[in-house]
């Protein structure tokens, strides 16, 4: 089996932690605000109150919560003595975060809804996750 370079040995470690903390806390805040139903009307995406669109949005709750929990737990574990578990959780979180952004952007593209704020937010889930995964997986030598 080949050797691996862990994230703590790579220059992007701080960015990985900062990105995951921002995204994971951001997702938790978004869902808390959505549950409290206090988003200003101007911030809602097109069709937000439509039952089908609403169901589509709420279908992301388990995915986003799992991404957040694995990301936060991964950072905590990687900072402790459980680094191998932390790295596995971080990889899982990045994959889930990427998928959440991809699913949302796919939906907006299929419905021809190009709201820059929602596209930007979901691109921020996808692009850094994909880059971090590529860097990390590129650092594994077999």
Taking the chain (142 residues) in consecutive chunks of 10 residues, what is each chunk's mean pLDDT? 54 85 96 93 87 95 98 93 91 97 96 92 94 81 51
Q: What is the pTM of this model?
A: 0.87
Q: Quote the tokens at residue 68.
A: 């957040």
pLDDT at 36: 96
pLDDT at 2: 43
The answer to whether residues 101 and 119 touch, using CB atoms and an 8 Å cutoff, is: no
Task: Give kind and range of the element (H or E) at residue 63.
Answer: helix 61-79
pLDDT at 1: 41
pLDDT at 110: 95
pLDDT at 3: 45
């Amino acid at each position: 089996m080949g050797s691996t370079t862990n994230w703590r040995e790579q220059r992007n470690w701080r960015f990985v932690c900062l990105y995951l903390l921002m995204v994971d806390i951001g997702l938790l805040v978004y869902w808390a605000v959505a549950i409290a139903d206090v988003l200003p009307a101007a911030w809602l995406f097109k069709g937000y109150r439509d039952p089908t669109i609403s169901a589509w949005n709420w279908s992301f709750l388990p995915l986003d919560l799992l991404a957040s929990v694995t990301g936060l737990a991964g950072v905590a574990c990687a900072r402790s003595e459980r680094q191998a578990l932390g790295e596995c959780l971080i990889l899982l979180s990045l994959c889930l975060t990427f998928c959440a952004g991809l699913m949302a952007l796919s939906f907006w593209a299929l419905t021809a809804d190009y709201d820059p704020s929602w596209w930007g937010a979901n691109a921020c889930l996808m692009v850094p996750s994909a880059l971090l995964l590529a860097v990390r997986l590129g650092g594994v030598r077999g």
